[in-house]
Structure 1
């Protein structure tokens, strides 16, 4: 029997993870299966209890990243610092939790040609926002603005930023004009929600936008950026780059170990979702 893998979350029918992973495994010559499973947070522990020896690993999306952290017996550094896990390795000793979202964001931004943003604005306060803060620091940003619905719930994000020496300002959506000098805007909001921030035309022309929600596409924010000929990274780029790291984990157990013929692997993954190498859309 081939090794089993899946992406879990809710909603999940739109997920492009199976296309990305299947393309990678075809290049690598792995006869692994990869499927989608609709799963809510309270169901994760019971699901893991049913995973036998045929299960190699899992990808986790909303709303399971914090529950997956709790279910992991060991964590990699990015999972430990963010408290979020989007990858579980199941068949190599203790259940190991990893966060590939951080470097997925970093790789997607660098592929688009922005190497070192000074100021970053993040929309949303969930698990992916925590990853975005760490990614901003890794890209070299010294200041991060975070806009959320309820600032009083963002104390964990403030503590996270302090732990990695990043200056952070947290405010409520729409309570102040959007940051005009941001080099990078990262929206971690779910797909299909109305944009809670109004950005000036100058902001949209200046800042690179990464909208991690790739369905439905284009998002309201992406359309606003396109109206000013601004640069937009499709969320599929982040998904593809973090998925490459997941493939590394499922293959070798480490996100740091490159795959055989990795350039051909990522090219096949991007091709599977019709995305250019720079991720711009």
Structure 2
């Protein structure tokens, strides 16, 4: 039992769909942290400074989702190298002295999710999409990909941004038009970072012997692409895998307790999704 009541929460807009309270609360139960609570708050960029400024000493940490991952950065005292590398913070930990330290657990979470499925290193990879999640995927690939990453995008602006991220992260990036995205499906690792429904037209184009697909969505699940990929015998890493692994790292940072209970958190997430 913890010595005093501690609070944590996930902030974002929209936030009602977030599974983070389910995952973190399951971890607290497993770790015997009966005085810890984890909530969700609908907070947009305009409301963020006031909310953070009013937090008291009982607060241990925050999880940030869209659109706050960049907006939180000016409000922090320290930012990890990982978070700075993609200019995105999804985790804030409050120190005993009140200092606010920002980190990004999405990147190591992606690496851990892939490792759990036996993917330690790849010679090349493809990314579908070029939004915020794509830059985190590129940072994860910087750790495990030894060759070229091809990013399929819808606009020249996005293409230029992804090439810039590649230079910054020291990853060899080539961009191609979204219309040619079927070519991505033969890569050793495909990371789909696009919104629900975007990759559905690609499902009928999956090759007979696909390699590994990492689809960052978890609701609805499976996506058409993931279902066809799995039916053809390919390995599939889901958005729930990512969500759980990044949450494990958040729990460990906020509570100081490691290892966090990965299995219990995953089961809680699966039950919550099944109930939707």
Relative distance call for 1:268 and 1:37 in structure 2 (3 A) is same
Relative distance call for 1:70 and 1:148 in structure 2 (3 A) is farther
Relative distance call for 1:274 and 1:145 in structure 2 (3 A) is same
> In the alignment, what sits opposite 1:4?
7
Match among 259, 266, 270 for residue 270 of structure 1:
266
Question: Residue by residue, what CA displacement relative to the aligned partner does 1:185-213 show, whole Å, maximum 9, x if unpaired?
Answer: 112223x33327636332x7323111112
Q: What TM-score comes out, normalization by structure 2 length? A: 0.87
Q: Conserved in 2, the CA contact under 8 Å of 1:55 and 1:91?
A: no
Tell me by how many angstroms 1:248 deviates: 1.5
User: 2:25 is paired with a residue of what secondary structure?
Assistant: helix
Q: Conserved in 1, the CA contact under 8 Å of 2:125 and 2:145?
A: no
Q: Conserved in 1, the CA contact under 8 Å of 2:7 and 2:60?
A: yes
User: 1:206 is paired with a residue of what secondary structure?
Assistant: coil
**Structure 2 CA distance for aligned equivalents of residues 150 and 66 of structure 1:** 22
1:38 equivalenced with 2:42 (yes/no) = yes
1:212 equivalenced with 2:208 (yes/no) = no
**Structure 1 CA distance for aligned equivalents of residues 74 and 217 of structure 2:** 24
1:103 equivalenced with 2:108 (yes/no) = yes
User: 1:170 is paired with a residue of what secondary structure?
Assistant: strand
Q: What TM-score comes out, normalization by structure 1 length? A: 0.85
Q: Conserved in 2, the CA contact under 8 Å of 1:205 and 1:231?
A: no
The gaps in structure 2 that reach 5 residues or longer are 272-276
Q: Conserved in 2, the CA contact under 8 Å of 1:5 and 1:34?
A: yes
1:163 equivalenced with 2:168 (yes/no) = yes
User: 1:214 is paired with a residue of what secondary structure?
Assistant: coil
Tell me by how many angstroms 1:5 deviates: 0.8
